[in-house]
Amino acid sequence: MSNRSGNILTVDEAAEKRRSIRKYLPGPIPRSDMDDILRLTGLAPSSFNTQPWRFVVVEDPGTKEKLAEAAYNQRQVVSAPAVIVLYTDMADALATVNEVLPPGMDAAGKENLRSLITNTYGSLAAADREAFGAGQGYIALGYLMLIAEAHGYQTSPMLGFDPEAVKKLLGLPAHVRIPALVAIGKGAEEGFPHHRHSLSRISRYA
Ligand SMILES: Cc1cc2nc3c(=O)[nH]c(=O)nc-3n(C[C@H](O)[C@H](O)[C@H](O)COP(=O)(O)O)c2cc1C
């Protein structure tokens, strides 16, 4: 991809620099930048390559105001030039499974894989299947925040919202899950310094 800013951070740099940012500079995000960030986010891995994540980029001020209401008036929703509603739809992923089968695979291989995916997830209760999809969505969330940071944009992930109100506002199907809302833009504050467990507190070798 082209390097528009001329200064894309390494993964290490983006991880060190990223903080949740709740106050943003005004001004729209160029569509090409947003498309780059979302395309790279879509490179995230998922079980059987099901890719159940979907994105609604909310930029319209009136829609953002309503989204803020659904997010308990968290200030970053209105402050950010865009809020990405990251939702997952396993029913759609299963209904369109042909789209994610490897193009280089022969017909028999594709049929086997299609059956495997359909049997694996089709045998789950719908709610469990969608909960599984939401788990995949959090992989995309991690990618999204790091990629945005690397490309000069700050983010604020949010779980503080009423999912039913967000679905109603955006016309999303009732069965989908919303792993997070993500405010995104050029940050206008530093955010809080990292305060994290030590490595020994969270890891061991066996
Ligand atoms: C899934 C998820 C949901 C979160 N929900 C909210 C939220 O609703 N509101 C908020 O202000 N911060 C929210 N946060 C931000 C966390 O509080 C923050 O990531 C954490 O305190 C670490 O700080 P940092 O992101 O600045 O490193 C959320 C973070 C994650 C990953």
Verify whether ligand 1 is closer than 6 Å to residue 135 (CB atom): no
Measure 21 CA to ligand 1 centroid, in angstroms: 9
CATH at 76: 3.40.109.10
- Is 143 domain-assigned? yes
pLDDT score at 117: 96
Measure 80 CA to ligand 1 centroid, in angstroms: 15
Verify whether ligand 1 is closer than 6 Å to residue 11 (CB atom): no
- Is 3 domain-assigned? no
The mean pLDDT value of the chain amounts to: 96
Q: Is the predicted pLDDT of residue 4 greater than 80, yes or no?
A: no
- Is 169 domain-assigned? yes
Verify whether ligand 1 is closer than 6 Å to residue 159 (CB atom): yes
- Is 6 domain-assigned? no
pLDDT score at 6: 67
- Is 40 domain-assigned? yes
What whole-number percentage of the chain has pLDDT above 90? Answer: 96
Task: Read off the pLDDT of each residue in 137-160 and give the average, rounded to a whole number.
Answer: 98
Q: Is the predicted pLDDT of residue 198 greater than 50, yes or no?
A: yes
Domain count, the chain: 1
- Is 160 domain-assigned? yes
- Is 5 domain-assigned? no
For the stretch 59-76, pLDDT in tens is 999 999 999 999 999 999
- Is 93 domain-assigned? yes
Number of CB atoms found within 10 A of residue 29's CB:
19
Tell me the residue range of the domain where 116 lies.
11-202
pLDDT score at 2: 42
pLDDT score at 194: 97
